[in-house]
Chains A and B, each alone.
Chain A
Amino acid sequence: MKNIKMLTANDAVAYAVKLAKVQVVAAYPITPQTACVERISEFIEKGELKAEFICVESEHSALSAVIGASSCGVRTFTATSSQGLALMHEMLHWAAGTRLPIVMYVVNRALAAPWSIWCDHQDSLSQRDTGWLQFYAENNQELFDTVLMSYKICEDEEILLPAMICADAFILSHATAPVSIPSPKDIDDFLPPYDLKLALDDIENPVTYVPTCAPTREDSDWYMEYKYLQQDAMLKAAKKIKEVCREFNEKFGRFHGDLLEKYRCDDAEVVILSMGSFAAQAKDVVDDMRREGFKVGAVKIRTFRPFPVDDLRQLAKNVKAMAIVDRGFSFGHCGQLFMEVKSALYNLPDRPLVKGYVMGLGGRDIKYSDQRYVIEQTFKDLEKGFVEREIEWVNLRL
C-alpha cells in the first residue's frame, strides 16, 4: 500500500530530512525556503525526528554550524535561497574544501538588485565554482527522492563532497503535488548511517582540521593537490550518481534521469535543453510538436555539477541542433548553461548548431508558447544552416 501525501516541495524536503534521520540542522529563514525549516522544527519538537535544530542568526552561521557538526561525523542539513546562499558563499568553499557531505536545499530565487522573491537560477549558478554537487529538480517527487539519494552519494568514502538540491521558487516550493513516501524501513535499508574517519571529536586521535598549505615549504605545498582531489571526487561522483539512481530505481521503482534525462531524443534532429521545473513543460511541447511531425526531443539537465560532459557529447553525435534555455546569466558573456554546453561540445569533430535562450529571470513566467517559439526558431536556424544571433532574450519587454 503506497503512502502518497500531497506535499509542497518544502514539505517534501522536510519529510526526506526526517526519513534520512538527519542529526543536526541549522537554518535561517528566507522566503521561499522558510516553510521547509518550519516543518523540520515541528518534526523535532513533536519527537518525530531526533535532531538538534540550531536557530542561527544568519545563513553564514547556518552553514558554519553545519560544517562544525559534519566534521564530528553526524548527518547534517541546511536550507536557503538567493540572498542567503550568496551570504554563505565563503563557507561553501570551506565545506567543499574540507570534504564534508553536507546536503543543502536551495530554493532557486532571483538575487537582488532589484529585489525579487521569484524564481530564477542565478543564485545557485553563481556558486558553480565552489565545488558543491548541484542537482536541479523537475518536480516534488524528484526533489524528495534526490535528497535521499544525495546523502548516499555524498557520504561515500571516495566522494565526501557537499551537495545542493535546487528547486524552483514557488513553482515547486509552494505548489502541492503527490509525493510517494517509502517506508522508514525501506529507507534505512537504502541509506546506511554516516561514518567519518578521523572525525573532530576523536579525542584519542586529535587532529587539526583545515591547516594552511604554504607553497613556500616543500612539506606543506599541497594546496593544488587538494584541489585536484576535489575534482577527482567530482568525477567519481558522476559515476556514483548513475549507480545510486539505478539502485534507487530498483528499490523504489522511480527513475528521474541520472546526470541528465533524455526525452524522445533517439531520432531527434532538434533538442531543447532545460533545467528545473520548466523541463516538465518542455516535454509537453515536444509531445505536441511530435504529433505535428517535428523530430524534436527534450533534455533535462539534472546535475549541473558534475556537468554531464560525456552524456552531452554522446547526445550531440546524433542531434543536428540544440536550443539551450538559461534561467540565469553571466553578465559579460552568456547564460551559464549555454556556456557550459558549448564548452563541453567544442572539441567534438562534428558539432550540432547551438543557441542560447534567456528566459524567466526574476520569476517571469516561462510559457508554453515561449518554449514552442524556441524549438521553432531552432528548426528555422537548422534550415538556414547557421545561427544568426547566438544569444536571444525571450519575452523581453524591448
Chain B
Amino acid sequence: MGKFEIIRGEKMNILGLPEEEYLYPGFGSCPGCGSFLALRHTLKALGKKAILVIPAGCTAATTGLFPKTPFKVPVFETAFETTASLASGVIAALKMKGKEDIVVVGWAGDGGTYDIGIQALSGAAERGENLLYICYDNEAYMNTGIQRSGGTPFGARTTTTPIIGKQQHKKDMPLIMAVHKIPYVATACASYPQDLFKKVRKAREMRGTRYIHILCPCPPGWRFDINKTVEIGKLAVKTGIWALYEIENGKFKLTGASRGLIDPSKRTPVKEYTKLQGRFSHLTEKQIEILQKWIDDQWKTYQQYIK
C-alpha cells in the first residue's frame, strides 16, 4: 500500500487500515451512501486528535440530532457558508492554547464548497491557514433533495434542471484551489478508500492549507441501485470523468487507477458511465459527445501539468 504515518497505538488490519471506527453506528445517512464511505475512512486517517467543522449538508443533517452524535471526535456543525471561516477561528484558538497537534478539518459538500462556501475557503487559502479542507462531492445539493450546484456535471438532471439537464460544465474546484498555490491539493474517490486514506494521512501531517476533493456517488441523487455505489465510483475514475491526482508544492502526479489514463484509448468511453445513472438517462448522442470532449480536454490539461 505504500508508506504512511502510523499514529501511536493504532491497530491495523490486513488491509493496512486502522481497525478503529470513529463513528458510532446508527446515523441517518441513506443506505449505500458514498459520502459516508468516504467520511468513515477519512476519520480513520485523521485519528483522535482532530476537530471537524461541518456545515449544513448531508453529513450534518444525518448526524446532528440532539442529544446524540455518532462522532467520536469534536465537531462544530456550522452555518452553510462558514466552514473555512469558522475553522480559521478554531485554528487561531488552538494556536493560542499551544494545541497545534490537533488537526482542524473542514468537511463540506459540493454546495458548501463550490458555491456558498467558496468565499471563506478562498480567503482561508489566501491567508495560508493551517486548515485541512475536504470537499465531499455528490455533485448536487443532495440534502435538500437533489438541486443543481456548481459541482453538478454537464447534462445531469436535478430538480432545478429537471428536464433539459445542467447546461454548464462542472466547475474545476481542485484546480481553482491549486492556483491559490497552497502546498497540497488532491482528488480522491469514495470507491478507492485506501488511496483516500493515504492522501488524508499525508495531508494531516502537512502545514498550510491542504485541499482534498472526494467524488462520492449518491444512489438517490444520481439514480442508481443502492448496492452499486462502489462500482459507479470506480467507473467514474476509469472513464476519466474523475481523475485521481495530487498536486504537492506545485508538482502534479496522477495516483491509483488514474495512472496510465493519459492515453485516451485506455479510458472507458463515458457513455458506459452515463447509461448506468438515471440522471443521465435523457442524454442525446450529441450531449454525450460534449461530455466526452470535456473529459478529453481535462486530460489534455493534466498532460500539460505532468510535462
Where the two chains meet, the residues of A that have a C-beta atom closer than 8 Å to any C-beta of B are 23-24, 26, 50-52, 54-58, 60-62, 64-74, 76, 90-91, 94, 200-203, 206-214, 217, 219-220, 222
Contact = CB atoms under 8 A, between A and B. Distances in A.
B77 interface: yes
B32 interface: no
B93 A69 contact: yes
Nearest to B54: A208
A71 B119 contact: no
A67 B89 contact: yes
Interface string B241-280: 0000000000000000000000000000000000000000
B120 A57 contact: yes
> Which 7 A-B pairs have CB atoms at the shortest separation, nearest pair first?
A68-B89, A57-B123, A65-B89, A61-B85, A208-B69, A72-B93, A52-B92
B143 interface: no
A208 B71 contact: yes
Contacts of A54: 88-89, 92, 127
B74 A61 contact: no
Given A57-B119, A209-B77, A201 B94 contact: yes
A24 B74 contact: no
B15 interface: no
Nearest to B67: A219
Interface stretch (B95-103, B165-173, B202-210): B95-103
B53 interface: yes
B64 A201 contact: no
Contacts of B97: 72-74, 201
Interface in B90-148: 90, 92-97, 99, 102, 119-120, 122-123, 126-127
Given A24-B92, A57-B123, A206-B72, 12 more contacts: A24-B93, A52-B96, A54-B88, A58-B119, A65-B86, A68-B87, A68-B88, A71-B90, A91-B82, A94-B79, A211-B67, A219-B66
A225 to B, nearest CB: 11
B81 interface: yes
Nearest to B123: A57
Contact of A207 (B63, B74, B78): B74
Q: By CB atoms of chain A within 10 A, which of B48, B67, B74, B123 has the most?
A: B74
Contacts of B82: 60-61, 64, 91
Contacts of A212: 61, 64-66
A65 B88 contact: yes
Contacts of B120: 57-58, 61, 64
Contacts of A74: 92-93, 96-97
A214 B28 CA distance: 14
B95 A211 contact: no
A206 B97 CA distance: 17
9 contacts: A23-B93, A57-B85, A57-B119, A61-B120, A73-B97, A94-B78, A206-B72, A211-B67, A220-B65
Interface residues of B, number: 42
Nearest to B70: A208
B76 A206 contact: no
B85 to A, nearest CB: 4
B123 A56 contact: yes
B299 to A, nearest CB: 33
B17 interface: no
Nearest to A222: B66
Contact of A201 (B65, B87, B99): B99
Contacts of A26: 88-89, 92
B90 A56 contact: no
Nearest to A198: B74
Q: By CB atoms of chain A within 10 A, which of B49, B90, B120 has the most?
A: B90
A220 B63 CA distance: 13
Q: By CB atoms of chain B within 10 A, which of A26, A66, A200, A222 has the most?
A: A200
B77 A64 contact: no
Contacts of B51: 200-201
B75 interface: yes
Given A201-B51, A208-B77, A209-B76, A55 B86 contact: no
A88 to B, nearest CB: 11
Interface in B32-49: 48-49
Nearest to B71: A208
A62 B127 CA distance: 14
Contacts of B73: 203, 206
A55 B127 CA distance: 8
A365 to B, nearest CB: 38
Contacts of B79: 64, 90-91, 94
A199 B251 CA distance: 39
Contact of A56 (B61, B88, B102): B88
B74 A68 contact: no
Contacts of A214: 65-66
Contact of A210 (B49, B77, B87, B88): B77
A94 to B, nearest CB: 6
A67 B79 CA distance: 11
A72 B127 contact: no
A132 B113 CA distance: 30
Given A65-B85, A67-B89, A206-B73, A57 B122 contact: yes
Contacts of A201: 51, 74, 90, 93-94, 97, 99, 102
Q: By CB atoms of chain A within 10 A, which of B48, B65, B69, B85 has the most?
A: B85
Contacts of A91: 79, 82
B301 to A, nearest CB: 28
Contacts of A24: 89, 92-93, 96
Contacts of B119: 57-58, 61
A210 B94 contact: no
Given A24-B89, A24-B93, A64-B82, A211 B49 contact: no
Contact of B92 (A69, A202, A207): A69
